[in-house]
Amino acid sequence: MKNRKVTITISVILLILIALIIYFIGVKATPSFIATVIKVNGNSMVVEPKEGEEIRKAAGKIICSTNGVEVKVGDTVKITYTGEVAQSYPAQINVIDVKIKK
Domains and their CATH numbers in the chain: 32-100 (2.40.50.140)
Q: CA-to-CA distance for 9 and 83, rounded, in angstroms?
A: 41
Q: CA-to-CA distance for 71 and 1, rounded, in angstroms?
A: 69
Q: How confident is the model at residue 2 (pLDDT cuts 50, 70, 90)?
A: confident
Q: Give the angle 84-90-92 at the CA atoms, nearest 5°.
A: 25
Q: Structure pTM?
A: 0.72
Q: How far is CA 5 from CA 9, 14, 19, 29, in A?
A: 6, 14, 21, 39
Instruction: Enter the DSSP assignment of 88.
Output: S
Provide the residue type at 99 as one letter: K
Give 13-64 pLDDT, tens digit per residue. Answer: 999 998 888 777 765 678 999 999 999 999 999 999 999 999 999 899 999 9
Q: CA-to-CA distance for 91 and 85, rounded, in angstroms?
A: 7
Predicted local distance difference test score (pLDDT) of residue 5: 86
Q: Give the angle 88-91-94 at the CA atoms, nearest 5°.
A: 120
**Span of 23-32, 61-70, 89-98 with lowest mean pLDDT:** 23-32
